[in-house]
Chain A
Amino acid sequence: MDTAVAVEVAGASGNAGAPQVVASRAVVRRLLRRPAATAGVVVVAMFVAMAIFAPWIAPYDPIATSFSTVRKAPSALHWFGTDEIGRDVLSRIVFGARASLLAGVVSVLISLAVGVPIGLLAGYAGGKTDVLISRITDAMLACPFLILAIALAAFLGPSLTNAMIAIGISATPVFIRLTRGTTLAVKAEDYVLAARAIGNGPLRIAVRHVLPNIVAPLLVQATLAIAAAVIAEASLSFLGLGQQPPQPSWGSMLNVAKNYIDNAPWMAIWPGLSIFLLVLSFNLVGDGLRDALDPRHL
């Protein structure tokens, strides 16, 4: 998880002096002006559509086995070939988009849902609460992300849901740090001090003054985190801890495919390529968002 981004962006918004509420339409326009980011948005949208309309797009049932068509090379009947128990790889890729997108998005939503409130609390309350939260966050960050995710997934049991929870929890510290940093920067601003002076409660201040400021960096970090979460799910599945058969997920397809790499390479190529494209697109969108939202980089 890219903690350095948080430091950099928080610093940027910290010295602006005024709330960074940028009109969303202007942001979208700036985003789409860059071809790379546009390409990213288009590809992500394609994958989302693929996931939603999977039953209509996939030519075969993704879990229908056929013992006579085991590991057949790509052909007119099976565009991407078949896998180790005769299932159509293309159909599994299409349905697998659901697992990968879910894994990416839900994990990050969990991180946000847990990390942002805690970060707000730490930044706003300060004192002993802040110290405690910071120490725990530092502790979590000090453990290598994947190790933490593996341990959590092993604890919860191998399944896609548990993998999402494990990744989500492992990614939370980054969002705590980011939120806390921005909260601290905003807390000292004059308009916040003024708001407190006239008696606004902390919740109101948090919602009206702090949150709008962190939407931008959070959005950027979240998009990049989705990319990392998709890879994390693939990694956990590679170790046998993610989506379990017969349900398809690109990561678990790769886990099986590695055993057939020299006699059925198509089993590994398509899921790997799909992960690559999806993650690349999210990264491009995230980068584009960061450029669009941060006036200094324009």
Chain B
Amino acid sequence: MGTYLIRRIAQIVPTLLFVSILIFGLQQLLPGDPAKVLAGEEQDPAVIAHLRETMHLDEPFPIRYLYWLRGVLHGDLGESLRMQQPVRALIADKLPVTIELACIAIVIALAIGIPAGVISAVRRGTGWDYGANVVALWGLSTPNFWLGIMLILLFSVTLGWLPASGYVSPREDWRANLAAMIMPAFVLGNAIAAVLMRHTRSAMLQVLSSDYVRTARAKGVKERDVVLKHALRNALIPIITLGALEFGTLLSGAVLTEQVFTIPGFGKLIVDAVFNRDYAVVQGVVLFTATAYILLNLIADVAYAIVNPRIRVH
């Protein structure tokens, strides 16, 4: 176990290096000159030349990468030329918003996914099973931006119950904050609910057919207690560890959801940055996301390996 852990941690650095080279390389390959994008309507050649110099655009790729790498090692992720702000500050500003969105989304996903999964496993093969399956699948099958637009149409435009867009910090007004977050979080949580439901279902099925549960049943423990107290508790570990891997899905989903609901979070930041060729922002955000994802992966894998030694890859 100890060597496994050390090996995995040692793998993080080269992986991150690869991520940064991958994204850096991809950006350099993107057609279009970021200097021209930033130069604005008038496309003044003097401005373009100045921007090219500031962004080191005329230097060869490896040199530019090293400039950036040196910055990162000093804790400087560069600066967004479009918004004239350090990338670190932008991340610090936007991350809490997306995290809040993700957390509420996960809560919604758990509220839908786990009960659906439990019902589906316990009443396998019946109408309940298929019903719960479809309800949870609905989240995976609906394009989240379409769902978002439909919800805006219903709850904001027609009924006027919820705001159509924007974000209010919870410190300013927690009620307005929740009102603004509930729709996008629901849209985001839908997709995760389906995955959670499936994990719950298969984990529950596994546990329900185990000797431990058979013994409990034989001892005369009530079926409801068997399911909720014994099976579910054991099933929760793999559910949660697998669920942590959904972080990537959450972020992908956040990209479009934030676009539709105009929430100033991480997802919107990175999409705008790709389209505006704001290299520094894309680099910094992807590096940050990758690090978080890899760490979460590591924690999940370790936890899962502790629980289920057979899965460990030799």
Contact = CB atoms under 8 A, between A and B. Distances in A.
B157 interface: yes
Contacts of A2: 195
B30 interface: yes
B18 A135 contact: yes
B23 A11 contact: no
Interface residues of B, number: 64
A111 B56 CA distance: 36
A36 B31 contact: no
Contacts of B248: 141-142, 144-145
Contact of B143 (A34, A140, A231): A231
Interface in B183-240: 194-195, 198-199, 202, 205-206
Contacts of A283: 137, 140-141, 194
A268 B252 CA distance: 22
Interface stretch (A48-56, A62-70, A113-121, A150-158): A150-158
B153 A3 contact: no
Interface string A220-262: 0000000110010011001100000000000100100010011
A143 interface: yes
Interface residues of A, number: 60
B146 A275 contact: yes
A140 B246 CA distance: 15
A134 B252 CA distance: 22
A151 B27 contact: yes
Contact of A144 (B29, B195, B255): B255
A25 interface: no
Contacts of B270: 147
B130 interface: yes
B63 interface: no
B171 interface: no
A35 interface: yes
B78 to A, nearest CB: 17
Interface string B236-274: 000000100110110111011001000000000011001
Most chain B beta carbons < 10 A, residue from A11, A140, A142: A142
B146 A268 contact: yes
Interface of B: 11, 14-16, 18-19, 22-23, 26-27, 29-31, 130, 133-134, 137-138, 140-143, 145-146, 149-150, 152-153, 157, 194-195, 198-199, 202, 205-206, 242, 245-246, 248-249, 251-253, 255-256, 259, 270-271, 274-275, 282, 286, 289-290, 293-294, 297, 304, 308, 310-311, 313-314
Given A36-B133, A143-B289, A150-B271, 8 more contacts: A4-B245, A8-B242, A151-B27, A238-B143, A262-B157, A272-B150, A279-B142, A284-B137
The 8 closest A-B pairs by CB, nearest first: A142-B290, A139-B18, A146-B252, A280-B141, A279-B141, A272-B146, A4-B242, A144-B251
19 contacts: A4-B245, A8-B202, A36-B134, A135-B11, A138-B11, A139-B18, A141-B293, A143-B22, A144-B286, A146-B252, A146-B253, A151-B26, A151-B27, A184-B314, A265-B153, A280-B137, A284-B133, A296-B206, A297-B205
